[in-house]
Structure 1
Amino acid sequence: MNRVAYSLIASAVTLALTACNGDDGAQGVTGEQGVQGETGTNGTNGTNGTNGTNGTNGTNGTNGTNGTNGGAGLIRIATVPAGAEVTGLHLTKQGDLFFNIQHPNDANTEVDTLNNTPFNTGTVGVLTGVNFNELPRNIVSSPVPATSSALEQQTVVSAIGQYQILGQTGDTFSGLNEKSLSGGLGVIYGLNTKQEIIKNNMPDFNGFIPTGDNTGYLFTNWEDYPGGMSRLKMSKTTNGAWSVEEAMMVDFDSVKGTAANCFGSVSPWGTPLTSEEWIVNSTVDTTTNPTWNKPTDVGSRLENFRQFLAPEFPNPYRYGYIAEVQNPTTDTPDVVKHFTIGRYEHENSVVMPDRKTVYSSQDDTGGVLFKFIADQPEDLSSGTLYGAKLTQDTGLSDPAVTGFDIEWVELASNTNAQIETWVAQYDDITSADYVEGKTSYISVADVQAWVDGKATYPSVAEGGSPITAGKPMDDRVAFLESRQAAKLKGATAEWRKLEGISINHDRVLEAVTGQNVIADEIVKSAYMYIGIADLDNTMTDSEGDIQLSPRVKDCGGVYRAAIDSNYNLTRIEPVVMGGTYRSSLTGAERCDVNQLSQPDNVIVMRDGRILIGEDGFQENNTLWMYDPKSK
């Protein structure tokens, strides 16, 4: 503020004659006023004075420290209905935040005023009326739903915006230009019979492909066995609400279907990458897929796939990959499975701004963090696969302060075309080929022979697979049994529930290249964020590369990984952890309701804050926002 001081200077001169040490005399008579004299001539103007010198500027004060948000920097953006987890977090460049309500209680009956329908089945939706790219930092947390309020318990309660339902399991969008949705959203049909196999209640990943400022296609994963993906053509009105104009399920028949389509991402060139979280059953100390074709093994996953592929027997090596939806806005998008990125329980993959480097998380016990570098930008069909080797900080074990340095172990290089020829060799295996105590598929002995540099695969008598026994060695194990290959090559296979990974493309691009991509700040360092649902089991067993204390356990936490000038991850460190796990308690009380409880999806916002979706113990799981600057 400028401050101006005004002074009014008044000057009065009085002549007073008084007697000295005596009494005053009487006042005399007033005389007549004399004649006014002539006006004198004006004097000449004086010369201007010289300007004063400027004072020296004071030094700038030091920047104040960032203020903290309440508690640990966590703001509760929304809670989801009872029984549901938060999935499908996706933030568009226009600031629209999509997220889903996965497997809510089917007994939920309450309805809100906006949607007028209960949240009792899988739900795809968006927070309307708010731009998350311009979100202020003084957001106040939404309340924990009151146990006495069925409405709060069974609907979405948000701190900002209103949750709009875009579609729910089984919706047919009658009256719209449905392209291929006769059975409804999330419904999967047999490849050959065209009979309904499953009505999916598990919407997960969302990815929005814009066609204009307020129009585009929303792709949504449906996580089951077999899996699926829907596509909604949508437009946004002036008040922020969305309308669906077309609906379809993406046709995966050309790749013989997908399995448990989990989280995912959108590539920098605008194609959805859907992740198959197929349960690979590839533990590193037993034979792999030992009972998949056992005649008496008729688990729900196997039985669903038998129905889906009938009369074929399902080949497990056809599932467990990243699938790219190419030409996503055409009437019939193309689907390509990238065998090159490896086969394991994919949570999701993230492509760096170089359009070649891809990081992938394995959601399992004893999982690996993988890296893939493509031979050419925007082409994931050929390249080299790596596994991360971790070195834990010396003398530390508490999850809140313990980080890890990263080295990368090279596994192998190859192409989709070559790997698929190896996959096809297992297509004709059926239950008739099962031998008790043996495996019809790749064995640990096969992987070990590859690691040891053997010229040929071991014989069946030596524990080898009948398909490869005695044949020249190749690199199939790196791509078909990627966890085993990485483990035996020296990578760290000890992650527990390695969930969503995420970057903000523009922040990473600016930090690495120095380009001023984000106008309101200069980003000098950027990170890939990693959600860990559980910090237990192989991470707390006092063995191997990861030896953390079990204090946090199933409450989980979020890590970040530093990205260097070559888009290489060099170090992983904790960002925010759940509270102390209280094993003496049960239910929601095991993890503090005001802290993280089994984080799943993570998304990095344009301003560096992160959004975290829970799959936890709470009565109502939370969509959190965390500000790393509060730490």
Structure 2
Amino acid sequence: MKRTLMVGLSAAVLSSSMVPMFADAHSSSHSTRNIKKVEFLSMDAPTKIDQMVKTYTEAKVKVTYTNGKTEVKPLNYNQLFLSQDKIVENKGEMIAAGTPIDAKGNPIIDRSVPDKPEAFVSDAPDSNSLLEVHGKKYMVSHFEYDSIDNAGNEVKGLPASMTLTEVVQDKKTGKLAVKKASKIDFENVNGLWTPCNGSTTPWGTHLGSEEYEPDARAFESDKTSTAYKEVNAFAERYFGTTEKANPYFYGFTPEISVDRKGKATAVKHYSTGRFSHEMMQILPDQKTAIFGDDGNNTMMFMYVADKKRDFSKGTLYAAKFKQTRATEGGAGDLEWIKLGHASDKEVKRLIDKGTKFSDIFETADAPTPGFKAVKTAASKKVEYLKLKPGKEKEAAFLESRRYGALLGATSEFNKMEGITVNEQDKKAYIALSYVSGSTEKQEGAVQDDIQLEKRESGATFEIDLGRATGIDSRYVPTNMQALVIGEDLKKPDAYGNTANPDLVANPDNLAYSATSNTLFIGEDSSLHTNNFVWAYNLKTKKLSRILSVPVGAEATGLRSLDHVGGYSYLLSNYQHPGEALTGKQITAVDPKALEQAMKDGIGIQKTGGVGYLSGLPSGHKSYTHR
């Protein structure tokens, strides 16, 4: 996310062991069981203005079979809809897919231009899940935020939204198309705060996120703070009153289920902890989950549910990073610190009774006996905190990162983003968009567990999963090591790139395909003028560029679907196109002409796109129907 997956298919998608090989080729005579190797053939980076302003692919995929034969097919990008497209039926009228709604289900209106009020439209579609329920296919899509209002101002405190889209599949070609769409109601959980990445559960639901949780300390103590202003603006727009403004309503994981009538229901899993939820990734035992915590000075969390497929009650842990290598992206072992055990109901009761930050911690303004110094994403400053007696549960689940830091967990990760899992090899993968700032050696810091070599372009890490003493899970992350790393440039190239354009810069969304043994990586980088989606072969270590999104846009919504009705897809969105064009040091093309081409096309930060790549090899048997 600039303002700053679980990979598998929904459990409800039916599988078959004999399916067509390519989404755009339905006459193949080969069985998927005879695939020997899958290789993605890279496309070039865009070099002309007409390429730089669109979403496209020129990549191909080569499949080698055990009988020695090969097939090479092109990949194709298919746009389902733009966030500004009026595809949503809402109270008898059609509204844009990216329009947020208030607690009463009404579109939230942008009144920044007094004589031209109109509904907000997000330019930031993010996570997708494709769910199949009783033979119908539904896509859940996040709309993370709206960058700018109609007057050109940055929007603060705007409630976010998700859209449920019913899609239909052409059985002959695999092409997906929109049938109808609706907004998902979050009134029962007090609205939705900044949904970033997400995942699909093995039991056929969608797990969302609430990123950049508002600082409850600042909200309570400083009415000039960003937190106070944003939470009150949110409440005014969503509830119609600031009386319900409460920072502890937000910073959790929502789970979305769809019933046989196509109605979506949202719950929030309060017991999974409150922090900057980038996403929650369920691991193969279906009771362990790990999380991305986006921002600077963030923390790695793990949750172990009491019961399989039920994340309403369990134990929350935070990681202590023990560095083993500083170079080549870095590596380290992970030790887990228990924060607490709770149910969603218990934590919600703490929120509903009006718990405040000052009920949980005592604070000091300087080093003081009995107080511990911590530095976390919750505050830009070092804080001196002491837990109040008997407030362990409130601290663990409402101030998870601050409490984790008090107990010695590492709060030095920087922009911990997407996660995906490779069940067969018992590996997970996590993106650290930046290996800089809090991940570098910091003289005089209150904590300095992570001391990695600076790499602004970031790295994607591989995580080993195993057992740990005292934790009821076979999928505990035990260590992590950089797998795919970027390369910073000392000066911009002709296209304004300040990181090598032939390597990944600032990885964000991740997805894994078992069929091709491939890790897909989407970028959120200002170091690349155009962001890309990459395919990384875990066996051959080959990196291939397979998609380019519009200049200034971020590649989001990445989800690998190895088998949907006989076809494979890579869901892929883009958000905030044209952002940060001003000031780019571009000499290969005319920067003014590039900016004008963006304005003449889809506009600058006006809309985002929801779509998918087709043409991928198909056939991995996913989870069975529950």
TM-score (norm 1): 0.66
- 8 Å Cα contact 1:260-1:276 kept in structure 2: yes
- Report the CA distance shift for 1:93/1:309 in structure 2 as closer, same or farther (over 3 A): closer
Separation (CA, whole Å) in 1 of partners of 2:236 and 2:50:
41
**1:596 CA displacement:** 1.0
- CA deviation vs aligned residue, 1:280-301 (integer Å, no higher than 9, x gap): 347xxxx554556559977456
- Report the CA distance shift for 1:618/1:328 in structure 2 as closer, same or farther (over 3 A): farther
For the pair 1:221 / 2:142, whether they are aligned, the reply is: yes
- CA deviation vs aligned residue, 1:32-69 (integer Å, no higher than 9, x gap): xxxxxxxxxxxxxxxxxxxxxxxxxxxxxxxxxxxxxx
Identity score, percent: 25
Deviates more, 1:326-335 or 1:264-273: 326-335
Q: SS where residue 275 of structure 2 aligns?
A: coil
- 8 Å Cα contact 1:180-1:249 kept in structure 2: no
- 8 Å Cα contact 2:431-2:459 kept in structure 1: yes
Q: How do residues 142-153 of structure 1 correspond to structure 2 at under 5 angstroms?
A: 142-147=43-48, 149-153=49-53
**1:141 CA displacement:** 1.0
- CA deviation vs aligned residue, 1:327-377 (integer Å, no higher than 9, x gap): 455443221111111001111011112221111110011111100111111
- Please tell me the residue identity of whatever aligns with 1:559: F
Separation (CA, whole Å) in 1 of partners of 2:530 and 2:226:
39
- Report the CA distance shift for 1:385/1:599 in structure 2 as closer, same or farther (over 3 A): same
Gaps of at least 5 residues in structure 1 are 1-83, 97-126, 430-438, 453-462, 509-522
Separation (CA, whole Å) in 2 of partners of 1:580 and 1:233:
42
Q: SS where residue 618 of structure 1 aligns?
A: coil
- 8 Å Cα contact 1:278-1:344 kept in structure 2: yes
- CA deviation vs aligned residue, 1:523-546 (integer Å, no higher than 9, x gap): 4x3210001111111001345110
**1:93 CA displacement:** 7.6
- Report the CA distance shift for 1:340/1:352 in structure 2 as closer, same or farther (over 3 A): same
Q: SS where residue 403 of structure 2 aligns?
A: helix
- Please tell me the residue identity of whatever aligns with 1:569: P
For the pair 1:557 / 2:462, whether they are aligned, the reply is: no
TM-score (norm 2): 0.66
Separation (CA, whole Å) in 2 of partners of 1:478 and 1:130:
52
For the pair 1:364 / 2:295, whether they are aligned, the reply is: yes
- 8 Å Cα contact 2:320-2:409 kept in structure 1: yes
For the pair 1:234 / 2:164, whether they are aligned, the reply is: no
Larger radius of gyration: 1
- Please tell me the residue identity of whatever aligns with 1:498: M
Residue equivalent to 1:629? 539
For the pair 1:310 / 2:244, whether they are aligned, the reply is: no
- Please tell me the residue identity of whatever aligns with 1:630: T
Separation (CA, whole Å) in 2 of partners of 1:295 and 1:534:
27
Q: SS where residue 409 of structure 2 aligns?
A: coil
- Report the CA distance shift for 1:258/1:180 in structure 2 as closer, same or farther (over 3 A): farther
Separation (CA, whole Å) in 2 of partners of 1:569 and 1:130:
40
Q: 1:532 aligns with which of 416, 426, 432?
A: 432
- CA deviation vs aligned residue, 1:96-146 (integer Å, no higher than 9, x gap): 9xxxxxxxxxxxxxxxxxxxxxxxxxxxxxx96379x97963432112111
Q: 2:395 aligns with which of 467, 472, 477?
A: 477
**1:619 CA displacement:** 2.2
Residue equivalent to 1:161? 75
- Please tell me the residue identity of whatever aligns with 2:326: S
- 8 Å Cα contact 1:128-1:163 kept in structure 2: no
- 8 Å Cα contact 2:339-2:404 kept in structure 1: yes
- Please tell me the residue identity of whatever aligns with 2:213: I
Separation (CA, whole Å) in 1 of partners of 2:251 and 2:40:
40
Q: 2:277 aligns with which of 325, 334, 346?
A: 346
* Greater relative contact order (Cα < 8 A, sep 6+): 2
For the pair 1:571 / 2:479, whether they are aligned, the reply is: yes
- Report the CA distance shift for 1:188/1:582 in structure 2 as closer, same or farther (over 3 A): same
**1:487 CA displacement:** 1.0
Residue equivalent to 1:251? 185
- 8 Å Cα contact 1:233-1:244 kept in structure 2: yes
**1:157 CA displacement:** 2.9
Higher strand share goes to which structure? Answer: 2
Q: 1:546 aligns with which of 447, 450, 467?
A: 450
- Report the CA distance shift for 1:595/1:385 in structure 2 as closer, same or farther (over 3 A): same
Separation (CA, whole Å) in 2 of partners of 1:592 and 1:230:
36
Separation (CA, whole Å) in 2 of partners of 1:492 and 1:410:
13
Q: How do residues 126-205 of structure 1 correspond to structure 2 at under 5 angstroms?
A: 129=24, 137-147=38-48, 149-159=49-59, 160-173=74-87, 182-192=94-104, 194-197=106-109, 198-205=120-127
Residue equivalent to 2:351? 423
Q: SS where residue 317 of structure 1 aligns?
A: helix
Gaps of at least 5 residues in structure 2 are 14-21, 27-31, 60-73, 110-119, 146-157, 374-383, 468-473, 542-626
- CA deviation vs aligned residue, 1:476-534 (integer Å, no higher than 9, x gap): 11100110011111111110000001114xxx2xxxxxxxxxxxxxx4x3210001111
Separation (CA, whole Å) in 2 of partners of 1:478 and 1:316:
16
Separation (CA, whole Å) in 2 of partners of 1:304 and 1:90:
32
- 8 Å Cα contact 1:361-1:498 kept in structure 2: yes
Separation (CA, whole Å) in 2 of partners of 1:166 and 1:615:
21
**1:609 CA displacement:** 1.3
For the pair 1:598 / 2:502, whether they are aligned, the reply is: no
- CA deviation vs aligned residue, 1:205-261 (integer Å, no higher than 9, x gap): 000112478x51111111024121111111211112112222111111111111011
- 8 Å Cα contact 2:127-2:196 kept in structure 1: yes
- Please tell me the residue identity of whatever aligns with 2:279: N
- Report the CA distance shift for 1:409/1:586 in structure 2 as closer, same or farther (over 3 A): farther
**1:196 CA displacement:** 1.5
- Report the CA distance shift for 1:295/1:155 in structure 2 as closer, same or farther (over 3 A): closer
- 8 Å Cα contact 2:7-2:200 kept in structure 1: no
- Report the CA distance shift for 1:301/1:223 in structure 2 as closer, same or farther (over 3 A): farther
Residue equivalent to 1:210? 132
Separation (CA, whole Å) in 2 of partners of 1:325 and 1:93:
12
Residue equivalent to 2:316? 385
Query: Over aligned residue pairs, what C-alpha RMSD do you find?
Result: 3.5
- Please tell me the residue identity of whatever aligns with 1:602: L
Residue equivalent to 1:489? 407
Q: SS where residue 479 of structure 1 aligns?
A: helix
Q: SS where residue 630 of structure 1 aligns?
A: coil
Residue equivalent to 2:421? 503
- Report the CA distance shift for 1:263/1:158 in structure 2 as closer, same or farther (over 3 A): farther
- 8 Å Cα contact 2:85-2:97 kept in structure 1: yes
